Structure 1
Amino acid sequence: MTDIETRVRRLEDRAELQDLAVRYFLASDFDDFDVIADAFASGGTFSAGGFPGATGGQEIADMIRGARANFGTTIHTPHYVLIDFVDGDHATGLVGAHLEIATGGTSVYGAVRYEDEYVRVDGKWRFASRNMRTIHVGPWDEVSSSLTSDLPVRWPGGEPTASDYAVKV
Structure 2
Amino acid sequence: MTSTEFALQAVAARYAAGIDRRDPELLRSAFHPKARLAIPAMDVVMEGHDQLPGVLQPLSQFEKTFHFLGNTRYDIDGDTATGEVYCLAHHLKGGQILVSAIRYQDTYSRRDGEWRLDDRTVIIDWNHTAATVAWS
**TM-score, normalised with respect to structure 2:** 0.87
Partner residue of 2:79?
89
Percent of aligned positions with the same letter in both sequences? Answer: 26
RMSD: 1.6
Deviation at 1:27, TM superposition (A): 1.6
- Give unmatched runs, 5+ long, in structure 2: 132-136
Residue pair 2:17, 2:27 contacting (<8 A) in 1 also: no
Residue pair 1:36, 1:57 contacting (<8 A) in 2 also: no
| Structure 1 residue 13 corresponds to structure 2 residue 8 | no
Instruction: Report SS of the residue matched to 1:69.
Output: helix
Spell out, residue by residue over 1:54-82, the C-alpha distance to the aligned partner (whole angstroms, 9 max, x if none): 00123111x12212221211110011111
Spell out, residue by residue over 1:74-118, the C-alpha distance to the aligned partner (whole angstroms, 9 max, x if none): 110011111111x21100000011111013653111211000000
Residue pair 1:113, 1:134 contacting (<8 A) in 2 also: yes
| Structure 1 residue 55 corresponds to structure 2 residue 40 | no
Partner residue of 2:123?
133
More strand by share: 2
- Give unmatched runs, 5+ long, in structure 1: 1-9, 142-169
**TM-score, normalised with respect to structure 1:** 0.71
Higher relative contact order (CA 8 A, sep 6+): 2
The amino acid that maps onto 1:88 is G
